[in-house]
Amino acid sequence: MKLTYQWLHDTVRARFESDEAMEAFLPHALATDELKSKSDDRYLSAMTQRVFQAGMQHSVVDAKWPAFEEAFSGFTPEAMAVLGEADIERHMRNEQIIRDRAKLQTIPKNARFILDVRQEQGGSFGAFIADWPVADIIGLWRLLAKRGARLGGRSAAGFLRLVGKDTFLLTSDVVARLVAAGIIAREPASQRDLQAAQDAFNALRQDSGRQLCQLSAMLALSIHPAF
């Protein structure tokens, strides 16, 4: 089948009682100025939260997050970049947080990543994220995976979703729809397959004017109903 926005809209709309109900269900990314207004400690916090969510129930991590914020003093990158092994060892004795040494060790690494980008770009990390074109969101995934700590796989997109940057997610249902449409043959593992997915989203975005996150949700709903 050829994947068109009209088909996608009609298929998903049929699952809701009204246009308003469908629109209320769909996610919304933040505007560029909203992303830029976030302080960089919020980006480091979200990176760390996403790292801890990997392989765990998100609700468990989310419930612990206030304790993480307190333990790591709000995730200020300058302070977190100088965390040493003695600091990590101290946090490993904190029963209020999730004590995973390898994941805790990503905090200073990702703090330095944020500071490096700030120095290179001459602006905030939030501005760097905000200005990245969504038509090449997989390029941002690639950069996060390469330069960040434990931000490969689905974690890059998950982090971007947490901070409100527009991105699609390659969930099992989204992949199933892209496979059914003949765009990819399996879950994307190569840059060629990722580019094919990006191209499909770009075409849907151009036809609809919708954000990638909304199109991603609609593709998932075309396989799996909301209710």
Q: Which residues contact 101 (CB under 8 A, 6 or more apart)?
A: 88, 92
**Mean pLDDT along residues 187-203:** 96
Asked if residue 119 and residue 11 are part of one domain, the reply reads: no
Tell me how crowded residue 227 is: count the other CB atoms within 10 A of its CB: 5
Asked if residue 198 and residue 127 are part of one domain, the reply reads: no
Q: Report d(CA 48, CA 66) in Å as an integer.
A: 13
Q: Report d(CA 184, CA 139) in Å as an integer.
A: 18
Domain enclosing residue 45, as ranges: 38-163
- pTM for the full predicted model: 0.95
Asked if residue 71 and residue 53 are part of one domain, the reply reads: yes
**Mean pLDDT along residues 109-123:** 97
**What integer pLDDT is reported at residue 225 of this predicted model?**
60
User: Is a pLDDT exceeding 60 seen at residue 116?
Assistant: yes
- Write the pLDDT tens digit of every residue in 173-185: 999 999 999 999 9
Asked if residue 79 and residue 20 are part of one domain, the reply reads: no
Which residue is associated with the tokens 């004017």? Answer: 209
- Write the pLDDT tens digit of every residue in 127-160: 999 999 999 999 999 999 999 999 999 999 999 9
Asked if residue 21 and residue 70 are part of one domain, the reply reads: no
Asked if residue 17 and residue 61 are part of one domain, the reply reads: no
User: Is a pLDDT exceeding 70 seen at residue 35?
Assistant: yes
Asked if residue 182 and residue 131 are part of one domain, the reply reads: no
Percentages helix, strand, coil for the chain (3-state, rounded to 5) are 65, 0, 35
Q: How far is CA 127 from CA 54, 124, 182, 191, 224, in A?
A: 26, 5, 36, 26, 35
